[in-house]
Amino acid sequence: MRFLTFIRFSHTVFALPFALGAMLVAANGFPGWRLFALILLCMVFARTAAMTFNRIADWEIDKRNPRTAGRHQLLGKYAAIMTCLISAALFVCTTFFINRLCFLLSPVALGIIFLYSLTKRFTHAAQFFLGLALSVSPVGAWLAVTGSFAWPSIILAAGVLCWVAGFDIIYATQDVETDRREGLHSMVVWLGVPGVLRLAGWLHLLMLMGLIGFGLSAHLGKIYFLGLIPVPFLLVYEHRIARTLDLGKINKAFFETNAVIGLLFVLIVVAQQIWKF
């Protein structure tokens, strides 16, 4: 339990649904248990490697942040380093059993997801790099099924990038004082809380357009598009909570709202694949 808390296992609900959705659409149904298991293992290993690397990179900064001060007590630094190395190696090894392209691109995927943890040191756009890291998942799942790139997965990845960047900007408002004190390149410090909340709103509008574009490019049917109807209402709810600047409510809305969006996405894709209209 301490380890799962250390890597924020609960936040798996953000990237995993979009990887599974892309997998189902690429396969035009269920791709088989072997490939499903390999994709799932890749998600677990990549995310574990990314989160432990993030904890290692921010070890001293996290100690000085009241919100994250207890993280280093959950797992020792040496154990975190070993977990990161082993998880990264297992990710690469697992891609070998999927296809040649996934195996060749696996170091690139690791480089992208590791890069995020270093970005606050040199750019205000850290949230966009986090979005890029999570957007790798639907493209990777599509490549695992088809062995080639395609527009639906790229459009979905762009939507995921905007979605993640938007909600992480909201989440980052909790750390504005710590970021200012540590001299980090923070979007919230740069633009101010009102400015980043407006930016997050525009990003979530682009995210919605990305989901619609994915459905159109993948030739999905009415079930998918009808299933998207709750998404803008969920996003509006999240932004209304964010504008209260109540950090407790923001944290709750951040997790619950975005978890529901991810779950809704994969459910409507499953329904679309079952009923085909």
Is the alpha carbon torsion for 245, 247, 252, 256 positive or negative?
Answer: positive
DSSP-assigned letter for residue 229: T
Q: pLDDT tens per residue, the chain (277 residues)?
A: 554 454 454 555 678 999 999 999 999 999 999 999 999 999 999 999 998 898 888 776 666 666 555 655 567 778 888 989 999 999 999 999 999 999 999 999 999 999 998 888 888 888 999 999 999 999 999 999 999 999 999 999 999 999 999 988 888 887 777 777 777 777 887 888 889 889 999 999 999 999 999 999 999 999 999 999 999 999 999 888 888 767 667 777 777 888 899 999 999 999 999 887 6
Long-range contacts of 36-40 (CB under 8 A, 24+ apart): 38/94, 38/97, 38/98, 38/144, 39/98, 39/140, 39/141, 39/144
CA atoms within 13 A of residue 206's CA, in its CB half-sphere: 19
Task: Record the pTM.
Answer: 0.90
Top-tier CATH class for 2-275: mainly alpha
